Every structure is written in structure tokens, then in C-alpha cells.
């Protein structure tokens, strides 16, 4: 993962004082992990590998409603063929008052199939995915877009 993405997540966790049980969607360690930021961390990905605790698809998360205090999904949404379904599941398993932290490739980021590469985002696009959350903040540039919201 890009250092700026790791730093964004770490900064949000510290600034918002996010604690508790965290789910990281798309946790396969291709080039970095968020695990060191969180005390109670579960990594989920659709493939087995380093940093993956549970193999499952984010379109149907294997958890009860209101399970997590924080959910991250960084550098993953561009590889998700149904990001709207993923965000519905995020909302379902996130506790009231919990936080979701997102990042995704911006419109100028090069194509990178792993496993597929379907979308590019703008801050407005992440804002649409976060519709229904509160305290939404989105930012970014043509290379990387960031968003955070609270249930």
C-alpha cells in the first residue's frame, strides 16, 4: 500500500480516537498492512494469503449486524465489481457510532489488475458510496481518493 494511504488511516484513527474491534476489507498483504494501527484487528479478503484471517467476499460479510467499531477498505474498491453492495454490508456490520475509512484509486492512477481493476473514483464518487453515513469527509486528488464516515 502507498505510504500516504497508511498515513491517512493512522491519522484518522488518532484524530477521531477510533478504538475497538476493526475489520479490514481487502486485507491481503500485497504491499503493506494496516494491522499495526489497530489493537483488535480482523483481516478479510476473497483470497488466502498474508494478513488474511477470514476468506470471504465483501458482498456478503460473515458477521452479525453491529459487530465492528471500525471498518477499513483501502485500495480495494477499484477491484470490487459491486462496491455499492460492499458498502451496504459495511453499514450492516458496523456498530452505531462506528467509523468506516475508505481509499481508492483516483482517475489518473494506472490500471493494476489484482485480481481485476474496474473503477476509478473522485471525492464525489466516494461521497456517493458513503451516502447514508454521517460526518462524511472526502478528499483526494487524481491519484488517490479518501473518505471517512460514521454510522
> For residue 114, what pLDDT is reported?
72
In terms of DSSP H, where are the helices of 54-108? 83-93
The string of pLDDT tens digits covering residues 54-97 is 999 999 999 999 999 999 999 999 999 999 999 999 999 999 99
Average pLDDT over residues 118-138: 96
Pairing between strand 94-105 and 54-55?
Answer: unpaired
Cα torsion angle, 2, 8, 142, 77, sign: positive
Average pLDDT over residues 17-37: 96
* 26 half-sphere exposure, CB direction, 13 A CA radius: 25
- DSSP secondary structure code for residue 65 in this structure: T
> pTM of this prediction?
0.96
Architecture of the domain made up of 3-150: 3-Layer(aba) Sandwich (3.40)
> For residue 136, what pLDDT is reported?
97
Average pLDDT, the chain: 96
The string of pLDDT tens digits covering residues 103-117 is 999 999 988 887 789
> For residue 115, what pLDDT is reported?
79
Amino acid at each position: 500500500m502507498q505510504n500516504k494511504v497508511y498515513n491517512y488511516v493512522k491519522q484518522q484513527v488518532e484524530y477521531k480516537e477510533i478504538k475497538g474491534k476493526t475489520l479490514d476489507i481487502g486485507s491481503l498483504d500485497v504491499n503493506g498492512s494496516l494491522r499495526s494501527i489497530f489493537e483488535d484487528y480482523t483481516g478479510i479478503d476473497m483470497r488466502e494469503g498474508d494478513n488474511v484471517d477470514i476468506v470471504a467476499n465483501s458482498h456478503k460479510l460473515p458477521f452479525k449486524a453491529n459487530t465492528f467499531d471500525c471498518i477499513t477498505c483501502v485500495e480495494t474498491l477499484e477491484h470490487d465489481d459491486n462496491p455499492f453492495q460492499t458498502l451496504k454490508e459495511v453499514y450492516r456490520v458496523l456498530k452505531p457510532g462506528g467509523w468506516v475509512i475508505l481509499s481508492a484509486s483516483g482517475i489518473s492512477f494506472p490500471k493494476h489488475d489484482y485480481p481485476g481493476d474496474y473503477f476509478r473514483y473522485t471525492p464525489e464518487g466516494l461521497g456517493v458510496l458513503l451516502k447514508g453515513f454521517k460526518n462524511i469527509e472526502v478528499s483526494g486528488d487524481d491519484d488517490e481518493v479518501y473518505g471517512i464516515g460514521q454510522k
